[in-house]
Amino acid sequence: MNIFNDVYQWLIEAVKMDYNLDHIDFSKVVVEPTKDARHGDLATNVAMVLSKQLSCKPQELAQKIIVRLNDNENILKIEIAGPGFINMTMKPSFWHETVTKIWGVKESFGKPHIENPEEILVEFVSVNPTGPLHAGHGRNAIYGDTLASLLEFCGHKVTREYYINDAGGQVDALGESAILRYKQALGQDISDDQFGPDMYRGDYLNSVGSKLKEKYGDTLLSLDHAKLLQIVKDFSVVEMMDQIKDDLDFAHIIMDVYTSEKEVISQGHLDRMLKNFEEAGLIYNGVLAAPLGITVDDWEEKPQLLFKATQFGDDVDRALQKSDKSWTYFAGDVGYHYYKIQRGFKKLLNIFGADHIGYVKRLKAAVSAMSDTDTLDVRLTQMVNFVDGGKPVRMSKRSGNFITFRDVLERVGINATRYLMLSRHHDMALDFDFDLVVSHNKDNPVFYVNYAYARMHSVIKQMTKTFPHIAYDKSLEKVALDLLVNDEEIALIKEINNWPRVLQMAYVHKEPHRIIQHLYQLAYRFSVLWNAGRENSHLRFIDPKDLNISLARLKLIQTNILIFKIASSILKIELVEEMN
């Protein structure tokens, strides 16, 4: 049930009465709410989009459409706006009927129809296992998990995956750092200046040192350094990943698969990828020009094994293997994506931090070289600016000065954290104010939305006390809403009907923040109606002297609650029905 699709069909049928629509492209035709209620309820660009294809002027086509729709019993007023846009004002009966239709589909309301559901691999978080998830990683984790949930709701089969970068130089640095903490646990004096600039000096490694002592005593100190490093490095990665998994689980984020970079390489996926590239003539030995004005770890003025990335849209060819035969960071990722494709996934979705923006082109080029279809979609999550006590929080994992994701979850709660992390477009910086998110006032969107939801349930409870003899489940199914004629009541019905469009846009553009914003608007419209009832007793949700109007308003509230429940299940946010 989707009013925007219904009106779209009316418009196409109206145009069809005067024109042959064979070979006409309708893809850019839009039906949407008007930006200003004074201009009606719904607006469309149908005449603007189709006029050129139909060899007529936009206003001429718009006028013909209006003539054809003048007899439509659902439309109160229809008029041309500007150069050929069409605005429509719908009759109250149209809006009343939509609620009846929503009750006919219930939890399926707004769900897009996907003709060919796909198996989609969503890779997100994938933080190097060199420490706990810091607070900023939480945004990537929550966005990726919610996007996966949205794709599942719309009918796709989704695999959530975390890629463990356990074969690079950063893991070596982790191992060296953990060795110092191990020695410290054994009683040796360790000073900060023993930690190199690339090492990790955070206190979180103290527990790793203690566990190494508990398991091995001082026996590791007798090993040569290479053997010592390997044991400590492997041990530390397991410890860090256990902590990361525990934090994700705590945030209701359950990964289906954890894939190790070391295993991708040891199982031969990287070698097979290289063989395929070699057979296709996509790799060669060469020297790359130095990047202008920046330092790149993978660049050296020596012959390297290069991938012809420029053939697939990248700016330069990319190094896969250095002159010393060690793999580049990029090579590991290419091997991993080869492994993804070999597992049968035709749709890959990666969620990266914004600091990986320069990495997107090269990875897309590599995936294009492995697949004939547009397989890889990459979304970036921008940084989170944390504010505590009115002051910005500065963070650095290497120095150990950071707030962990777990700290945030335990301090403000899982629901509030998920809500706020999703409250803005993922590619826009987000301010996370600790004081605001726990405040109990309308300036806190988390509180505002949940308070409205709790108020809705308070009306239901009061209704059962006022009219205890009514079997509400059966009664509400048959209740008509024609008694709801107040502007604010109709405004809430209109906002409820925006849900299918919001969900469709969130799905198509992979923007779950739209769902958050819609919940806020539903809460706002309900609150306006609640406040109107405080000022005018005739607008109160429950009128002890009028069962019919009370039931109609209760049905409206229950319909609003339905959207909250569908949305919160996608967002994995638990809304409470009662607040103190």
Domains of the chain: 3-90 (3.30.1360.70), 124-254+382-436 (3.40.50.620), 445-571 (1.10.730.10)
Burial class (CB in 10 A: 0-12, 13-18, 19+), 472: middle
Tokens in use for 543?
A: 């009128």
> Measured between alpha carbons, how far is residue 434 from residues 418, 555, 574 in Å?
13, 37, 20
- Contacts for 80 with CB less than 8 Å, ≥ 6 apart: 59, 62, 63, 66, 86, 87
Which of 70, 110, 66 lies closest to 85 in space, CA to CA?
Answer: 66
Q: Are 334 and 273 in contact (CB under 8 A)?
A: yes
229 φ/ψ angles, rounded to the nearest 5 degrees: -60, -40
Residue 229: what pLDDT? Answer: 96
> Measured between alpha carbons, how far is residue 447 from residues 203, 524, 526, 532 in Å?
35, 12, 14, 21
Label residue 12 by pLDDT band (50, 70, 90): very high
| Residue pLDDT, tens place only, 438-459 | 898 888 999 999 999 999 999 9
Label residue 398 by pLDDT band (50, 70, 90): low
Which of 333, 359, 349, 352 lies closest to 269 in space, CA to CA?
Answer: 333
| Residue pLDDT, tens place only, 529-577 | 999 998 888 889 999 999 999 999 999 999 999 999 999 999 999 999 9
Q: Are 251 and 312 in contact (CB under 8 A)?
A: no
DSSP calls for 538-572: GGSS--TT-HHHHHHHHHHHHHHHHHHHHHHHHHT
Residue 395: what pLDDT? Answer: 65
Of the ranges 105-109, 406-410, 444-448, 473-477, which one carries the lowest mean pLDDT score?
Answer: 473-477
Residue 183 CA to residue 188 CA, distance in Å, equals: 6
> Which helix (H) or strand (E) segment is 184 a member of?
helix 169-185
Q: Are 47 and 11 in contact (CB under 8 A)?
A: no
Which of 578, 438, 501 lies closest to 1 in space, CA to CA?
Answer: 501
Q: Are 353 and 140 in contact (CB under 8 A)?
A: yes
Residue 233 CA to residue 235 CA, distance in Å, equals: 5
Label residue 146 by pLDDT band (50, 70, 90): very high
Label residue 105 by pLDDT band (50, 70, 90): confident
Label residue 189 by pLDDT band (50, 70, 90): very high
Pairing type for strands 157-164 and 119-123 reads parallel
Residue 297: what pLDDT? Answer: 59
Is it the case that residue 267 has pLDDT exceeding 80? Answer: yes
Which of 268, 278, 216, 204 lies closest to 242 in space, CA to CA?
Answer: 204
Instruction: Give the N- to C-terminal CA distance of the chain in Å, as an integer.
Output: 36
Q: Looking at residue 222, what DSSP letter applies? A: G
Tokens in use for 13?
A: 């049928």
Return mean pLDDT, the chain.
92
Tokens in use for 258?
A: 């954890």
Is it the case that residue 274 has pLDDT exceeding 80? Answer: yes
